[in-house]
A and B are shown apart, each in its own frame.
Chain A
Amino acid sequence: MMTSAWIQIALYLIILILLAIPLGNYIGKVMTGEKVFLSKLIAPIEKVIYKLLKVDVSEEMNWKKYAISVFVFSGIFFVLLFGIQVLQGVLPLNPEGLKNVRWDLAFNTTSSFVTNTNWQAYSGESTLSYFTQMLGLTVQNFVSAAVGIAVLFALIRGFVRVQKKGLGNFYQDVTRIILYILIPLSLVSAVALTSQGVSQNFKAYEQVDLVEPIVLEDGTVIEKGVVPLGPAASQIAIKQLGTNGGGFYGTNSAHPLENPNNVTNLIEMLSILLIPAALCFTFGRNIHDRRQGRAIFAAMFIVLTLATSAIVVNEQMATPQLSQNQTVDLTPHQQAGGNMEGKESRFGIAASSTWTAFTTAASNGSVNAMHDSYTPLGGMIPMILMQLGEVIFGGVGCGLYGMIGFVILTVFIAGLMVGRTPEYLGKKIEPYEMKMAVVLCLATPIAILIGSGIAAIVPSVADSLNNGGAHGFSELLYTYTSAGGNNGSAFAGFNANTIFVNLSTGFSMLFARFAPILATLAIAGSLVKKKKIATGAGTLATHNAMFVGLLIFVIVLIGALSFFPALALGPIAEFFGM
C-alpha cells in the first residue's frame, strides 16, 4: 500500500518540472526586456512607476551601486516594518484590538521577513493585526523575494557580459520581477485558494456555538469556539511562491483555514519550488547554454528526490513508542498510517513528507505538519537540507546564486586535480572570486554553528525547550539552523519568543542573508570585467553527469564536515535511543 505514496511523490515531482520549464523561459524573457503575453497590460504600469521614481532605467549600475541599492532598499523596509509592528495598536484594521508588538519580537520578525526567512516567534492570529499582515508582511513577501531574484540576475549578467561594468538596473529588475512574475502568479493562486476555503476578508473573528460544550478541570464550561479570519489567501499565495513561508496563522499551512484540502495543498506545495526550479532553466537560457541550467537542476533534483524518499520511509515506519506493540494500527489501510502525530489526516504521510522536503530544500519554511513531532531521522533530513546552505533549489534567486558559489568551488577543486586554471562559463575563476565564493558557501554554516553553539551554553535557553534529552538539543539546533539557513521552519515546540532567542536569531538571519548577497555581487562585479575565453580541449565540462556528481559531492562534503558532530548529538542520538 506504500505504492500510493510513491505514485503521489513521483507525480508531485513530474508536475513541478512540467511547470518550471515554461515559467523559466518566461522569466528569462521578462528579465531581458523581451515581449511576453502580459507586456501589453503591464508595460504601461511599469513606465508609470519609473516616472514616479524619476529614474532612468537605462542607467547601468556597477556592482557597488547595485549593492548599495539592495542595502538601502532593504534598510528602508526594515524601518518601515519595525515601525508598523510597534505601533499596530494605534493603526487601523485591527478588529481584534491586538497590542503593539514588543520591541525584541518586532526586531526578530522584521529581520526575519526582510531576509526572506520568515521565521516566526509569534502566532499570527493572536499577535498581528490585519494592517501589519497585509501592509507589513505581505509586502515583504514580495520585495524580499524580488531582491533575491534581482541579485541572481546581476550575477547572470556578470557571466554573460564581456569587459563591461554594468550589472543591470536595480529599480528595473525589482519592478519587473514584481509586476510580471510575482503579482500575476500570486493573484491566480490566491483566488484559487479562496475558492477552496482559505480565508480572505477583513472581518472580526467569528464565534460559534460548540456542539458539545467543553468542561474544564476547574468546572468552567466553554460553550463557544473561535474562527480566526482575515486576509489570509493573498498572503499565503506569495509566501509560498516567494519562498517566504511565514504563515498567516500560527500553525502555518497545517491550519485548515490556510490549507483546507488537497487542492490547496497541491497548489501551495508546488508553489514552494516553482520559481526556484524555473530559475535553473532561466539561467541556462540567459547564459545561452541550456545544458548548464539543466546540469544544476539535475544536481538539485537528485538530492531533493533522495531526501523526500528518506523522509517518507521514516515517517511511514513511525516509532515503537507510537506502535505500542501493534496495539495501534500503523498500516496504510483506509488511513495514512505511520507517524501521524503532528500531521493532518487529509495530508497523511506522503503529502506531509513531500512538503517537508520541498520547504526545507527551498528556503521556504512553511509547514503542513509539525516537524518537531517527526521521527528522529525524518526530522534530521530537513535539518540537513537547510544545513547544506539552502542550495537544493533554495530561496528564490538566493538558492541559485548560492549554488553557483558551490559550482565555483567545484570547478576550483576539479581544476586543482587536473592542474589547470579553473574557469566557468568562459570566465576565469581567480583568487578573488574564490574568496568570495567561500564567503558565499560558508556564511550559512558559520551562522548556524556559532548561533547554536552560543545558545547551547546560555542557561535561559533550556527553558525554551518543549522536550528533553537529545530531542531537546535537536529543537535548539533546528532553530539556529532555520535562522542561519534563512529557512524559517521550526521545531515549533521550542519557545522562540524570548529576548535572547529573538535577538540572536535576528542577527543570525541578517548575517546569513546579506553577507552572501555582498559576496555574490562582488563576484559578479569582478566577472563582468573579464574577457571571455574560448573553450579548449582542456576545459572542464560543467554540464555532464560527472560534473553533476562532483558538485553534489562537494556540497555534501562541506555540509557533512560542518554538521556531523552536531547531528550526532541530536537526531542520531535520539534514533539510537528509541
Chain B
Amino acid sequence: MKTILPIFRKMIVFALLLTILCGGLYTLSVTGIAQVLFPHTANGSIIEIDGKKYGSALLAQQFTEDKYLWGRIMNVDTATFTDESGQPLSYGTPSNLAVTSEEYEQLISERVQKILAAHPDQAGKPIPVDLVTCSGSGLDPEISVAAAKYQIERIANQRHITSQEVEAIIDRYTTSRFLGIFGEPVVNVLKVNLALDGILK
C-alpha cells in the first residue's frame, strides 16, 4: 500500500490535467475555430430565409404530397423530442429490420404498390431501391439520382410545369461524387422542394 498511495495522488492530478486538456481546452479550441471560420456549417446548416427556419439542409423531412419530391422512407419519431410547450417534434430513426424476413418482404411489397399507384407514367419500369428503403440515420436528407428522376413526371403534372423545369431544379441540387470517385451522386430533397415552392431561388 505504501507504494500505491503516492501513485494515487499523482494519478488524480494527472486525470484532472488530462480532463482539462482533452475535454476543455481541445473542445473549446475546435469550437472557437469553427465558429469563426465556418459559422453556417458548424451550427447545423440551417436554411433560414427571411427569418423563417425551413430546416437543416442535412436533415430529412417527410414528404408525402404528390407535388413534392419524396425522399427515403422515413420512420418518423415524435416520441423523443418536444418543444417548450410539450408539443412533439419530428425526428427520424433507422428501421434496423432484417432484410430477409417475410414481414420485410410484405412491407416492401406495400411500399411498391403505393409508389406504382402514384407513378402511372413509370409503369413497367423497376422502382429505384432508395424509394422503398429506410436509411441508416433515418434522417437521410438525400436520394439517388435515379430515385429523383423517377418522380419528375408526377411532380410536373401536379404543378402544371414542364418536366424540364423539374429536372433543372433536381440537377441544381445534385451533388456529384467527391473528386468524381468517392460515394454516390445524390439529390438534396428539402432544397429541391423549397425550390419547387419558389422559396429557395
Residues of A whose CB lies within 8 Å of any CB of B are 4, 7-8, 11, 49, 52-55, 65, 68-69, 72-73, 76-77, 80, 123, 126, 134-136, 138-139, 141-143, 171, 174, 178, 182-183, 186-187, 190-191, 194-203, 205-212, 214, 216, 220, 222, 224-229, 231, 233-235, 237-238, 250-251, 254-257, 260-263, 265-266, 318-322, 324, 326-330, 333-348, 351-352, 367-370, 372-376, 466-469, 471, 491-493, 574, 577-578
Question: Other CB < 8 Å A-B pairs besides A324-B109, A341-B95, 12 of them?
Answer: A7-B181, A68-B3, A139-B18, A174-B14, A200-B42, A211-B194, A212-B65, A257-B56, A328-B108, A334-B128, A342-B95, A466-B97
B146's partner among A141, A198, A260, A335 (CB-CB below 8 A) is: A335
Q: Which residues of B contact A225 (CB under 8 A)?
A: 55, 59, 61, 89-91
Q: Are B100 and A375 in contact (CB under 8 A)?
A: yes
Complex CA–CA separation, A367 to B33 (angstroms):
27
Q: Are B27 and A251 in contact (CB under 8 A)?
A: no
Give B72 Cβ to nearest chain A Cβ, in Å. 7
Q: Are A222 and B88 in contact (CB under 8 A)?
A: yes
Stretch at the interface among B129-137, B151-159, B160-168: B129-137
Q: Which residues of A contact B178 (CB under 8 A)?
A: 261-263, 266
Q: Are A375 and B99 in contact (CB under 8 A)?
A: yes
Q: Are A234 and B127 in contact (CB under 8 A)?
A: no
B112's partner among A227, A327, A347, A467 (CB-CB below 8 A) is: A327
Chain B residues touching A, range = 35 or more
Q: Are B183 and A206 in contact (CB under 8 A)?
A: no
Q: Which of A196, A344, A369 has the most chain B CB within a 10 Å cutoff?
A: A344
Q: Assuming A73-B11, A186-B26, A329-B127, is B100 touching A207 (CB within 8 A)?
A: no
B99's partner among A205, A318, A335, A346 (CB-CB below 8 A) is: A318
Q: Which residues of B contact A182 (CB under 8 A)?
A: 22
Nearest B residue to A223 via CB reads: B87
Q: Which residues of B contact A492 (CB under 8 A)?
A: 94, 96
Complex CA–CA separation, A220 to B78 (angstroms):
11
Give B87 Cβ to nearest chain A Cβ, in Å. 7
Q: Are B10 and A54 in contact (CB under 8 A)?
A: yes
Q: Which of B35, B89, B190 has the most chain A CB within a 10 Å cutoff?
A: B89
Q: Which of B45, B52, B65 has the most chain A CB within a 10 Å cutoff?
A: B45
Chain B window 4-34, contacts with chain A (Cβ cutoff 8 Å), 1 for yes, 0 for no: 1001101111110111011110110111011
A139's partner among B19, B64, B95 (CB-CB below 8 A) is: B19
B22's partner among A143, A255, A334 (CB-CB below 8 A) is: A143
Q: Which residues of B contact A226 (CB under 8 A)?
A: 81, 89-91
* B169: Cβ under 8 A from any A Cβ: no
Give A578 Cβ to nearest chain B Cβ, in Å. 4
Q: Are A468 and B101 in contact (CB under 8 A)?
A: yes
- Give chain B's interface secondary structure class: mixed
Chain B window 42-61, contacts with chain A (Cβ cutoff 8 Å), 1 for yes, 0 for no: 11111000001111111111
Q: Are A77 and B15 in contact (CB under 8 A)?
A: yes
Q: Are B81 and A205 in contact (CB under 8 A)?
A: yes
Q: Are A72 and B87 in contact (CB under 8 A)?
A: no
Q: Which residues of B contact A345 (CB under 8 A)?
A: 72, 130, 135, 140, 142-144, 147, 184, 186
Q: Are B63 and A194 in contact (CB under 8 A)?
A: no
Q: Assuming A72-B8, A201-B42, A211-B190, is B146 touching A348 (CB within 8 A)?
A: no
Complex CA–CA separation, A52 to B10 (angstroms):
9
Q: Are B132 and A139 in contact (CB under 8 A)?
A: no
Q: Are B46 and A208 in contact (CB under 8 A)?
A: yes
Complex CA–CA separation, A469 to B51 (angstroms):
51
A336's partner among B19, B31, B184 (CB-CB below 8 A) is: B184
Give B161 Cβ to nearest chain A Cβ, in Å. 18
Give A54 Cβ to nearest chain B Cβ, in Å. 7
Q: Which residues of B contact A348 (CB under 8 A)?
A: 144, 183-184
Q: Assuming A222-B89, A256-B141, is B135 touching A234 (CB within 8 A)?
A: no
Q: Are A208 and B53 in contact (CB under 8 A)?
A: yes
Give B143 Cβ to nearest chain A Cβ, in Å. 5
Complex CA–CA separation, A571 to B93 (angstroms):
24
Give A177 Cβ to nearest chain B Cβ, in Å. 11
B129's partner among A80, A266, A335, A376 (CB-CB below 8 A) is: A335
Q: Which residues of A contact B146 (CB under 8 A)?
A: 329, 333-335
Complex CA–CA separation, A202 to B34 (angstroms):
12
Q: Which of B30, B58, B89, B185 has the most chain A CB within a 10 Å cutoff?
A: B30
A194's partner among B42, B59, B62, B100 (CB-CB below 8 A) is: B42
Q: Are A195 and B30 in contact (CB under 8 A)?
A: no
Q: Assuming A344-B140, A372-B98, is B132 touching A210 (CB within 8 A)?
A: no
Q: Are B132 and A328 in contact (CB under 8 A)?
A: yes
Q: Are B108 and A368 in contact (CB under 8 A)?
A: no
Q: Which residues of B contact A574 (CB under 8 A)?
A: 98, 100
Q: Which residues of A contact B80 (CB under 8 A)?
A: 123, 126
Q: Assuming A341-B95, A344-B140, is B129 touching A328 (CB within 8 A)?
A: yes
Q: Which residues of A contact B22 (CB under 8 A)?
A: 138-139, 141-143, 178, 182-183, 238
Q: Which residues of B contact A238 (CB under 8 A)?
A: 22
A-B contact pairs, 19 of them (CB 8 A): A53-B14, A72-B11, A134-B27, A178-B22, A194-B38, A194-B41, A197-B45, A199-B44, A201-B42, A324-B108, A336-B130, A336-B184, A342-B134, A342-B135, A344-B136, A346-B184, A351-B184, A367-B136, A467-B101
Complex CA–CA separation, A340 to B102 (angstroms):
18
Q: Which residues of B contact A197 (CB under 8 A)?
A: 41, 45, 57-58
B100's partner among A174, A200, A203, A321 (CB-CB below 8 A) is: A321
A234's partner among B31, B108, B126, B130 (CB-CB below 8 A) is: B31
Q: Assuming A143-B18, A225-B91, A344-B137, is B181 touching A234 (CB within 8 A)?
A: no
Give B135 Cβ to nearest chain A Cβ, in Å. 5
Complex CA–CA separation, A138 to B28 (angstroms):
12
Q: Which residues of B contact A493 (CB under 8 A)?
A: 95-97
* B197: Cβ under 8 A from any A Cβ: yes
